[in-house]
């Protein structure tokens, strides 16, 4: 993602997948089984994720990669 993100706000799925590159089906399977953060409904047909939750996910994945 070209623009910088803050720790507050929301990201829609295409932006999440730019930061955490997995397929849409892998992402949704991970949400279902608890590997990835739960979404927030911000409208009747609009789902997003908290930026802080995505940053935490990336930091945990990075730390896990360094530990191995």
- pLDDT: which is higher, 7 or 8: 8
Strands (DSSP E) contained in the chain are 10-11, 40-43, 46-50
Per-residue model confidence (pLDDT) at position 1: 45
Percent of the chain with pLDDT over 90: 78
Structure tokens at 46: 């609009």
- pLDDT of 10-27, one tens digit each? 999 999 999 999 999 999
Sole residue written with tokens 């996910």? 57
Say if CB 40 and CB 49 are below 8 A apart. Answer: yes
Output the pTM of the full model: 0.83
Q: What are phi and psi of 50, to 5 degrees?
A: -65, 135
């Amino acid at each position: 993602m070209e623009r910088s993100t803050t720790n507050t706000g929301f990201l829609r799925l295409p932006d999440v997948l730019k930061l955490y590159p997995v397929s849409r089906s892998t992402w949704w399977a991970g949400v279902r089984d608890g590997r990835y953060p739960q979404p927030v409904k911000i409208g009747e047909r609009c789902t997003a994720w908290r930026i802080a939750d995505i940053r935490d996910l990336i930091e945990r994945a990075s730390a896990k990669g360094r530990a191995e």
